[in-house]
Structures are given as C-alpha cells and as structure tokens.
C-alpha cells in the first residue's frame, strides 16, 4: 500500500527533473542570470529533497549513518551549493556540456539529498545555521553583483547581473521575514496558569512523598 501510494510522487519528481533537463527549459532558465541562479538551481536541489522523502526510513537512516552524521551532510550541502553560486561555475555550465551535466547531478545528490537526510536531526540551532547561512550568502552575493563595475559572468550582461543582485537581496529579505515569523508561530507567548508547575505536580512527576511536618513546626506555627 505504501509503495503504491509513493508511485505518483516518484513519477512526478522524475517528470519534473526530465522537464528541467530538456533543451527548451534549460535555454529559457539559463538565458537569464536571475532564473539560472534563483529558479533552476533551487529546483534541482529540491529534486534531491523530494527523492529523500520518497526513500524508506531505513534507507534514509542507513545513508545518514554512512555519511557520518547530520553535520557532515550539512557541510557537504553547504560547499556544493556555494560552488554553484560562483560566477565561474555558471559560465562553465553554459559553455561546457560536462559541466552542465555535473550541475544536474550534483545539486540533487550533494545539496538536496544531504539536506533532506539531515534536516530532522539538526535541531533548532542547526536549522537556524542553515537559514542564516543561506540569507547571508544571498545578501553578500547580491551586494557584489549590484556593485561590481564589470561583468562577473562572461555570458551575462552587467544589467542582468544587477537584476540578479537585487533579486537576491529581495529574496534574502523575504526568507528572513519567513524564518523570523516561523519562530513565533505555534508557540505561547505568555505561560498560562496550567503551564506553571505546582509543588504537587513536581512531587508526582518525581515520585516524591509529601513532606513530613516537623515537631518544631507543630510547636511554633507560623503566623
């Protein structure tokens, strides 16, 4: 039953990946620096996350164990994604078919899949590191593309890289707002009376007996 339920998702993921690899889709996405960096590359990484969710839990646990730990997966995803943000990597993907094939293979396998494997194991601090790293990287690259006096990519004009820089800055602001909002959604701002632990509740949880009254308290009761 579980296998039959996952077949449509497998087919949808494979279909989307093949569509992204078609010459028409590649030409349209890679004609703009903004679409290349902020649409095609994230979609390819998302393919790896989708594949991770389609794997059985035991396979995911085995892959995570083989990788070492969640931090190791996070480091692999960080370095692989940072490489494909470099202007030289974008130029290589546009001029060299082998480089383009490496992009389509490495982004799902070295970015999306490790992130999908490690995400639940990272915890709040680890996920916060991922968010802050992505936001800061977008801000820094966006600022460089906006203020660069010359073309940083041989295949894109100066106005295209400036548009891509502003798009990165706006995306970073949007991601920061979404991340900040997620920290306050679903939590209680002020604890209610039911949330405050009482002495009886603490004793019952810790299996403690009721305190015995001392003779001194009996002889000298408090006012």
Nearest to 105 by CA among 125, 86, 121, 84: 84
What is the predicted pLDDT for the residue at 99? 94
Q: Report pLDDT for 93.
A: 92
pLDDT band at 123 (very low <50, low <70, confident <90, very high): confident
At 212 the pLDDT is: 52
Range in 8-12, 28-32, 38-42, 154-158 the model is least confident about: 8-12
Q: Is the pLDDT of residue 110 over 90?
A: yes
- The yes-or-no verdict on residue 14 having pLDDT over 80 is yes
- Quick one: what percent of the chain has pLDDT higher than 90? 38
Identify whether the C-beta of residue 10 lies closer than 8 Å to the C-beta of residue 54.
yes
């Amino acid at each position: 039953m579980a296998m039959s339920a996952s077949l449509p998702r497998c087919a949808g993921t494979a279909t989307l990946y093949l569509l992204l690899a078609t010459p028409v889709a590649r030409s349209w996405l890679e004609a703009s620096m903004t679409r290349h960096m902020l649409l095609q590359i994230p979609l390819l990484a998302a393919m790896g996350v989708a594949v991770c969710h389609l794997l059985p839990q035991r396979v995911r646990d085995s892959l995570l164990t083989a990788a070492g730990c969640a931090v190791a997966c996070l480091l692999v995803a960080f370095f692989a994604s940072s490489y494909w943000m470099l202007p030289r990597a974008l130029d290589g993907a546009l001029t060299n078919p082998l480089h383009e094939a490496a992009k389509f293979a490495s982004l799902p396998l070295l970015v999306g899949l490790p992130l999908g494997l490690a995400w639940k194991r990272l915890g709040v601090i680890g996920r916060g590191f991922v968010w802050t790293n992505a936001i800061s990287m977008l801000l820094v690259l966006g600022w460089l593309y906006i203020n660069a006096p010359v073309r940083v990519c041989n295949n894109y004009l100066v106005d295209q890289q400036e548009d891509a820089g502003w798009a990165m800055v706006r995306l970073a602001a949007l991601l920061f707002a979404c991340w900040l909002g997620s920290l306050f959604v679903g939590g209680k701002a002020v604890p209610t009376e039911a949330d405050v632990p009482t002495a009886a509740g603490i004793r019952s949880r810790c299996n403690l007996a009721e305190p015995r009254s001392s003779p001194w308290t009996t002889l000298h009761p408090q006012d």
